[in-house]
Amino acid sequence: MADNVQITLNGSDTYQCPQCGAALKYKPGTDFLHCDYCGMDTPINSKKVDDVQELDFDTYAEQAETLSTKATKVISCRTCGAESTFDESMKSVECPYCATPLIVSDAYEERLVQPSYLLPFKISDNEIGSYMSVWISRRWFAPNKLKSRALYDRRQQGVYIPCWTYDAQTETDYTGERGDDYTTTVGVGKNRRTETRTRWSDVSGHISLFFDDVMIPASKIITTQVMTEISNWDMMNMVEADNRFLSGFITEKYNINMQTGYAAAKSKMESDIDYAIYQDIGGDRQRVHSKKMSFSDVKFKLILLPVYMSSYTYNNKLYHFFVNARTGRVTGDRPYSVAKIALAITGGLILLALFIWFVNNYG
């Protein structure tokens, strides 16, 4: 269950078809808003990103209430607590996590940092089944009925997932020891042998590293592990945030604020700095006694990434699929067939017994 996960209404930014007046929604893989009623396409003059502009972290942290925030309607799922925003023109909306119908009258306003850029949906919802079918067919020990349940009884939603990205210049001074292995012969007679020993020497140094776009998912609907499993993302195709690309889709509210996200990003950076220190020390073994790190020129931005979330029930348990709506990469959880696992174990034991019999008789 997702705890305190949030959905956001795209305010009054609803778009009507100029031909028939029906609601328009973004058509994945295009630069158009599409009318399902009369079929008309209305172009979106999207702005491709040539020079990404980012916000100064320290300045924003001091003035978070006044910079780049907007009153946004948020709605919470009464079943799992997921909180999101969505296009008010959508006639019915379900929670992207547990598929519970959302009650629009429950929506409330909250000031939120606005996304700077996004990757629009590229794959349509009609194409998701084929990607899921391939993924399921590669799952060993899946129940035979899984494909029919997952593909035909599923509920799916297109969701924009919020992510923070951070840049930082880092400077690190360290002290430690470098260990160089060497071999020596010890003992006499039958006890004569070669041993590997290490010669240690004191070292110190400086590491200067610049980090660009360290990504931290700000979602509680989708875990960091899931986002990693469905990456990579074609960031070179990001466009400036435009609510027209959100039309017809749900947008999850960020549930990790920029300060918490920065702490997670620093942890990632520190791991890379540690690796760089060990590489800088060299030798066969390394010891680090102290390190003093400084972070400067920290920049950040909020971006939205497109994901299809699909859920289905098997034996009264809820399972989820997640699909990268740019590449079609799939991950998820699924049930296992006890019968298939038992059959595989039995088959393995039979093969082992045959191998032992063969070795004993012909080996």
pLDDT band at 128 (very low <50, low <70, confident <90, very high): confident
| Same domain? 219 vs 361 | no
Cβ 325 vs Cβ 158: under 8 Å: yes
Question: Half-sphere exposure of residue 353, counting CA atoms within 13 Å on the CB side?
Answer: 6
Cα separation of the two ends of the chain: 56
Buried b or exposed e, range 168-203, using 16+ CB within 10 angstroms: bebebebebbbbeeeeeeeeeeeeeeeeeeeeeeeb
Amino acid of residue 301? K
How far, in Å, CA of 176 to CA of 200, rounded?
Answer: 10
Residue 119 structure tokens: 């990757």
| Rg over CA atoms, the chain | 27
**pLDDT above 70: residue 65:** no
Do the domain assignments include residue 196?
no
| Identity of the residue numbered 351 | L
In a domain, 160, yes or no: yes
Question: Which tokens in the block code for residue 94?
Answer: 């379900």
Residue 184 lies inside a defined structural domain of this protein: no
Nearest one of 2, 3, 1, 5 to 255, comparing CA atoms: 5
Residue 104 lies in a domain: yes
What is the structure's pLDDT at 359? 76
| Domain co-membership, 221 together with 353 | no
Model pLDDT, residue 11: 42
pLDDT of res. 267: 96
* Highest mean pLDDT: which range of 55-64, 75-84, 233-242: 233-242
Q: Which domain holds residue 237?
A: 6-165+214-258+304-332
Q: Please tell me whether residues 122 and 10 are part of one structural domain.
A: yes
Residues 127 and 87 in one domain: yes
* Reported confidence tier of residue 143, pLDDT bands at 50, 70, 90: low
Task: Give the lowest-confidence range in 108-117, 125-134, 157-166, 338-347.
Answer: 338-347
Burial class (CB in 10 A: 0-12, 13-18, 19+), 134: exposed
pLDDT digits (tens, 9 = 90+) for 228-255: 999 889 988 999 999 899 888 888 888 8
Q: For position 112, what pLDDT does the model report?
A: 79
Residue 120 has pLDDT above 80, yes or no: yes
Q: Is the pLDDT of residue 215 over 70?
A: yes
- How many whole angstroms separate alpha carbon 247 and alpha carbon 90? 9
| Reported pTM | 0.79
DSSP-derived secondary structure letter, 206: E
Confidence of residue 55 (pLDDT cuts 50, 70, 90): confident
Specify which residues 183 forms β-bridges with. 196
The yes-or-no verdict on residue 123 having pLDDT over 80 is yes
Let me know if residue 57 belongs to a domain.
yes
| Residue 205 banded pLDDT, cuts 50, 70, 90 | very high
Which H or E run contains 177?
strand 155-186
**pLDDT for residue 90 is more than 60:** no
Half-sphere exposure at residue 69, Cβ-oriented, CA atoms within 13 angstroms:
17
Q: Give bridge partners of residue 350 from the DSSP assignment.
A: none
116 inside domain? yes
pLDDT in tens, 162-204: 999 999 999 999 999 999 999 998 888 888 889 999 999 999 9
Cβ count near 363 (within 10 Å): 8
Residue 181 maps to a domain: no
Site of tokens 């700077």: 116
Do residues 39 and 77 share a domain? Answer: yes
- What pLDDT does residue 12 have? 42
pLDDT reading at 10 higher than 70: no
Same domain? For 239 and 349 the reply is: no
pLDDT > 70? residue 111: yes
Which pair of structure tokens corresponds to residue 346?
A: 């039995």
Per-position DSSP letters for 299-339, written without gaps between them = EEEEEEEEEEEEEEEETTEEEEEEEETTT--EEE-----HH
53 in the same domain as 38:
yes
> Do 126 and 24 belong together in one domain?
yes
Instruction: Please count the structural domains in the chain.
Output: 2
Token code pair at residue 11: 């305010």
- Asked if 235 contacts 324 with a C-beta cutoff of 8 angstroms, the reply is no
| Residue 353 and residue 316 share a domain | no
Q: Is 137 inside a domain boundary?
A: yes
At residue 8, the pLDDT reads: 46
